[in-house]
Amino acid sequence: MNLLIDIGNTRVKWRSTEVDACTGEGVLENSELSEALIVEMVECHAITKMMISNVGKEAITSLFARVAEKLGLEFLRMKSQPVMAGVKFAYQDISRLGVDRCLAMAASFEHKGVMVIDAGSAITADYVTGDGDHQGGYILPGLQMLKVSLNSGTSRIAVDVSMGNIEPGCSTEECVGNGLTLMLQALMAGLIKQADAYGIKDYVVTGGDAEFLTTLCPEVAFSRRSNLVLDGLQKFITEKEGAEG
């Protein structure tokens, strides 16, 4: 049994798999992780192999690695590679492309063009054509980062922001919330326009603010996926085991 682990800045998402089937999954706060908890998880799901993607603290990877060594498990640390699951990445220095973005694109690519948007702490958007060529992407501040930067950078307009309306505001709160909504709506429209230029018509969206971003273009059919990094790990390990078999 495999244990797939997606380590983020605040949470760890995990999934247990056998062959290409999911047998269990969940989310843990980084602050609640301990060696005892990981050992319990491993024993509960009869894990023999761990595969980790980490964009968070290295200490958490080390914690899982210690458990794997203690229990004699195979341990794999996923790193960005020039080609993954048929996707050929555009970065000349592949080490500068986050493994989470690589795995999200690998999970979304099904031999047709796709735009992959991750609406997390930062918003990332990447374009992959039907032949698997990554055309590059964008990295922008996420919704919460925009709120915090506006409130912290402009001391006289610190407000609680409500999102969803694009009409001109008639209070400071409305001006901020509606302005951010209008800006993000324009962003989504611009990302889709760029996708059209590549002949891409499929749009996959993931991350904590995925639902809100997709409502900004109600006429567009988005595919929402909740655990793209884990999907990418599962796709990679399934292909690897298939090749070895």
Instruction: Supply the residues annotated as catalytic.
Output: 100
* Structure-token pair, residue 94: 């592949």
Identity (one letter) of the amino acid at 14? W
**Residue whose C-alpha is closest to residue 134's, from 184, 79, 86, 99:** 86
List, in order, residues 6 or more apart from 149 with CB less than 8 Å away.
Answer: 141
Classify residue 168 by its DSSP letter: P
Tokens of 157: 């307009």
Rounded to an integer, what distance in angstroms lies between the CA atom of residue 86 and that of residue 13? Answer: 24
Centre a 10 Å sphere on the Cβ of residue 158 and count the other Cβ atoms it contains.
11
How far, in Å, CA of 74 to CA of 48, rounded? 6
Structure tokens at 192: 């889709």
Answer whether 126's CB lies under 8 Å from 143's CB.
no
108 within 8 A of 130, measured Cβ to Cβ: no
Helix (H, G, I), strand (E, B) or coil at 40: helix
End-to-end alpha carbon distance in the chain:
15
Say whether 213 sits in a helix, a strand or coil: helix
